[in-house]
Amino acid sequence: MKKIFPFLLLLFYAGCDDTTTNIDDEIIPDSNVSYSLHIQPVFNAKCVNCHGAGTTEAGLDLTTWAGTTADPRIVVDSLPDNSVLVWTIEQRAGFPPMPPIDSRYPPLTLNQLNGLKTWIAEGAINN
């Protein structure tokens, strides 16, 4: 039994599947950006700890499309450069940077930011 145990243990671990993925490894396409497939997973990984149900910093709930688009100033349909959400992520002057400088959460990657801007430019659709 002692000789077969390490073999069984090795066999067990070989059958395990590492299906976890890092959100930063997911590539958002240059067009046809989906809220549910591309944007919400980024918000879930990087934003909803502070901007989620029950923790809506600045009154912003990014856990749903309805919450994300509730304030027409935050996401301006078809106009990402007029959207406060983009301004804060880009850390434009006069707007608090998101995530905050001392945050333990990483900022959006350039691909994630561009994906967000594309989603807004395409009409901020709930898809």
Which two tokens mark 59?
């009154």
Q: Is 9 a member of any domain?
A: no
DSSP 9-63: HHHHHHT-------GGGSPPPSSS--IIIIIHHHHHHHTTTTEETTEEGGG---S
Region 97-113: mean pLDDT is 94
pLDDT at res. 8: 47
CB 105 within 8 A of CB 99: yes
In the chain, how many domains are there?
A: 1
| Cβ contacts of 126 within 8 Å, gap of 6 or more | 35, 36, 65, 66, 69
pLDDT tens, residue by residue, 80-98: 999 999 999 999 999 999 9
On the question of pLDDT at 14 being above 60, the answer is: no
Tell me which residue range forms the domain holding 41. Answer: 21-121
Region 10-28: mean pLDDT is 68
pLDDT tens, residue by residue, 36-74: 999 999 999 999 999 998 876 778 999 999 999 999 999
Which two tokens mark 50?
């502070």
Q: Of 52, 49, 30, whose CA–CA distance to 116 is shortest? A: 30
Q: Is 27 a member of any domain?
A: yes
Tally of CB atoms within 10 A around 98: 24
pLDDT at res. 9: 46
pLDDT at res. 11: 46
pLDDT at res. 84: 97
Q: Is 126 a member of any domain?
A: no
Which two tokens mark 69?
């688009």
pLDDT at res. 58: 75
pLDDT at res. 55: 78
Q: Is 99 a member of any domain?
A: yes
pLDDT at res. 1: 57
Q: Is 55 a member of any domain?
A: yes
Q: Mean pLDDT score of the chain, rounded to an integer?
A: 88
Bond prior to 107 in cis (omega within 30° of 0): no
Q: Is 69 a member of any domain?
A: yes
Q: Is 33 a member of any domain?
A: yes
Q: Is 116 a member of any domain?
A: yes
